[in-house]
């Protein structure tokens, strides 16, 4: 079901890590009528603002990448913000999409929706089978609600809306804030700072033993368009690379990339989060999609971008 390149597409959250990658990819694929509205113009948490936007512009396709996101520290400190903001964004956009005739919609969730002790790799069927990781349960509940909202739209109105669950993402335009960033950009920025100062020791959060899967955001952008054109099902689809890495190994890779030669220590008073989080990507792989960016290459490219921002 190839999307017409003339279709008006709302890429919600276009300034963020995921949204900016979507803009790059959709433009490279020939889409010219992209709706790009930052929160300074349209606050998606405001229901009337979203309805006015969709009533006026009438998008045919929506990718809902707008969200309040953050790492362990931010999720632990401000769970109400993560729950409230994301619920409002999702409900407002999904309801307006139905009301004003959006033909195809992709909702982007997160791998944190799965139970803390889910089987590894995590299949889509693991959803709602166990307790969540408490450090980001509020965010996870909001994303689960969005996924169920999409499924309800399909059941009640027969709309071909779908959901995708990306793994941990990284790449250009990532959040570099010291207190709210995710693990890879936080480690990259911390290592760069230690290297620049000539520190003898660098300290990362946690024990370094958790394992994480990392997908370059440009690969996710390709997956989003691929799913819109090749998938129409009720179940969410995992999007990942199929391989994970221990955070200690990631720290070594980042140190090598940056050129840092000092010692690496770990602050075990800080939380580790989920011990392992590797997605089962057999569904999207069977449809014909695979990632293109190796982790070493992706980290190098991300570091090249980061240095232009520091």
Active site residues: 139
* DSSP line for 132-190: PPGGGHHHHHHHHHHHHHHHHHHHHH---EEEEEE-EEE-TT----TTT--HHHHHHHH
**Are 200 and 263 within 8 A, CB to CB?**
yes
What's the CA gap between 237 and 233, in Å, rounded?
9
Contact between residue 294 and residue 257 where contact means Cβ atoms under 8 Å apart: no
Angle at 259 between CA 254 and CA 260, to 5 degrees: 80
Tell me how far apart the alpha carbons of residues 75 and 81 are, in angstroms, rounded to a whole number: 9
β-pairing, 211-212 with 245-246? antiparallel
Helix 295-307 to helix 247-258 angle (10° resolution) is 50
Distance of CA 56 to the CA centre of its chain: 28
Q: Cα separation of 18 and 252, whole Å?
A: 26
Q: Token digits for 75?
A: 């999720």
Q: Residue 121: is the preceding peptide bond cis (ω within 30°)?
A: yes
């Amino acid at each position: 079901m190839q999307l017409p390149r003339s279709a008006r597409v709302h890429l919600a959250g276009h300034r963020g890590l995921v949204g900016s990658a979507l803009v790059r990819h959709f433009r490279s694929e020939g889409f010219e009528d992209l709706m790009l509205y930052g929160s300074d113009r349209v606050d998606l948490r405001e229901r009337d603002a979203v309805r006015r936007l969709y009533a006026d512009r009438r998008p045919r396709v929506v990718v809902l990448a707008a969200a309040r996101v953050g790492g362990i520290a931010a999720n632990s400190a401000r769970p109400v913000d993560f729950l409230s903001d994301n619920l409002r964004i999702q409900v407002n956009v999904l309801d307006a999409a139905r009301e004003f005739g959006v033909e195809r919609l992709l909702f982007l969730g997160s791998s944190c929706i799965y139970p803390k002790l889910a089987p590894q790799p995590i299949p889509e069927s693991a959803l709602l089978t166990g307790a969540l990781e408490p450090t980001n349960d509020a965010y996870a509940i909001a994303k689960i609600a969005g996924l169920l909202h999409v499924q309800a739209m399909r059941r009640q109105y027969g709309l071909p809306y779908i959901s995708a669950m990306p793994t941990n993402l990284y790449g250009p335009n990532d959040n570099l804030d010291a207190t709210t960033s995710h693990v890879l950009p936080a480690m990259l920025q911390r290592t760069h700072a230690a290297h620049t100062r000539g520190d003898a020791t660098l300290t990362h959060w946690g024990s370094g033993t958790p394992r994480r899967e990392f997908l370059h955001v440009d690969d996710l952008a390709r997956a989003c368009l691929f799913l819109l054109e090749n998938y129409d099902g009720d179940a969410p689809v995992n999007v990942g690379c199929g391989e994970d890495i221990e955070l200690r190994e990631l720290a070594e890779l980042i140190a090598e990339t940056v050129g840092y030669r000092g010692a690496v220590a770990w602050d075990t008073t800080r939380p580790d989060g989920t011990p392992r989080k590797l997605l089962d990507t057999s569904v999207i792989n069977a449809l014909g999609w695979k990632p293109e960016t190796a982790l070493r290459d992706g980290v190098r490219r991300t570091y090249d971008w980061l240095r232009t921002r520091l």
